[in-house]
Amino acid sequence: MVARTANVSRVAVSRAFNPHASIKPEKRDLILKVAQELNYTPDMAARSMVTGRSHLVGIIVPDVSGPWESQELDAMTTALQAEGFATLLFRTRDDLSLDETLLTYMKGFNPDSVIAYAENVRPTTLARVLDRAVPIYIGYPDEEVSEEEAAPLFDRLDVLQRDGIEQAVALMQGYGARRFAFLAGKTNSLATQSRGRMVRKILAERGLPPPILIQGDYMYDTAYRETLNQFRLGEPVDAIFAANDVGAFGAIDALRTELGLRVPQDVKVVGFDDIHQSHWKSYNLTTVKLDLTERTQALLRLILRRLKNPTSPSLTETVSTRLVVRGTVG
């Protein structure tokens, strides 16, 4: 009906609904206009039978409510939709494992790709349930991956954290910081483990003692409470490197409101991520930035490269970090 009304071929109609297909813009606009008038949408199930592609991307996350997670999901979903993909969202348990029922659901949808933001759901787990889809993992070059875990085929986005963390430590040291604390995230998070190792390594390289560990979980309330405990019961520090921005917010509020300490004059604080709230004037947080647009586009390139070359060996993209200097250090 659409082809006849628009006076084009059925192939042209199919191409108009494929954002990657080559078709003149004016012809695409005409076909989409006619399709809207006729209330026509392509049968994706039928198309999947022909092409072998579902145009679905599974996303596994440990959290959907945190500022960083919600911002990343918004960016990734927007980018995928612009390329003609729909998303399937799967949330892990609180211990970062994935329910076996959800794994079965995932296989039933036959996704073209799966992005595992929950790095603890390892490739060996997904290899049991995925068919042609090759999962994508967020990796950290200094993390230790066993041969058993590395065996199944998966693609990887490597986050190079050293530059941003080294800049943060150098800045705090330059402003007189000598005793550092690392405010951690969840203990079973590979991201926080990697950041902690990098902070320790850089401090040692710069002739500074290892950081005192303040145990956190990426949450504001825990960071607030544990910062109070550290300063009231433990050894005082003059610099706090937090594994994420929300934790840094909790530390700053504890220092200012209950301990009567000034940031940055008495204690310098640096976060990680550069979420939207970091520039709010009440915090004005100096933080290690993981560029969300760059990260999203790198993940999208991995998906498209894999679909173009499904039998390719493991694919890798790399993104770096950098320090955004605001008002909580100098």
Mean pLDDT by 10 residues, the chain (330 residues): 73 66 75 72 51 80 89 95 92 80 81 88 81 88 54 89 97 97 92 94 97 96 98 95 98 97 97 96 97 96 94 94 96
Residue 128: inside a domain, yes or no?
Answer: yes
What pLDDT score was predicted for residue 145? 46
Rounded CA separation 120/127 (Å): 14
Strands (E) in the chain, as ranges, are 56-61, 86-91, 113-116, 135-139, 155-160, 180-183, 212-214, 239-242, 268-273, 286-290, 316-324
Q: Are residues 35 and 108 in the same domain?
A: no
Find the CATH number of the domain harbouring 34: 1.10.260.40
- Total tally of structural domains belonging to the chain: 3
Q: Are residues 77 and 151 in the same domain?
A: yes
Q: Are residues 191 and 201 in the same domain?
A: yes
What pLDDT score was predicted for residue 263? 97
Q: Are residues 301 and 156 in the same domain?
A: yes
Range of the domain at 303: 54-160+292-318
What pLDDT score was predicted for residue 50? 45
Compute CA distances 16 → 6, 20, 41, whole Å.
12, 9, 11
**3-state DSSP helix/strand/coil % of the chain, to nearest 5:** 45, 20, 40
Q: Are residues 156 and 304 in the same domain?
A: yes
Q: Are residues 69 and 155 in the same domain?
A: yes
Residue 327: inside a domain, yes or no?
Answer: no
- Helices 245-257 and 220-233: angle between axes, nearest 10 degrees: 50
**DSSP string covering 269-318, please?**
EEEEE--GGGGSTTT--EEEEE-HHHHHHHHHHHHHHHHHSTT----EEE
Q: Contact 264/330 with Cβ under 8 angstroms? A: yes
Q: Are residues 83 and 143 in the same domain?
A: yes
Q: Are residues 268 and 228 in the same domain?
A: yes
Tokens of 157: 């986005």
What pLDDT score was predicted for residue 141? 82
Q: Contact 325/167 with Cβ under 8 angstroms? A: no
Q: Are residues 166 and 284 in the same domain?
A: yes
Q: Are residues 217 and 282 in the same domain?
A: yes
What pLDDT score was predicted for residue 92? 86
Q: Contact 219/248 with Cβ under 8 angstroms? A: no
Q: Are residues 299 and 236 in the same domain?
A: no
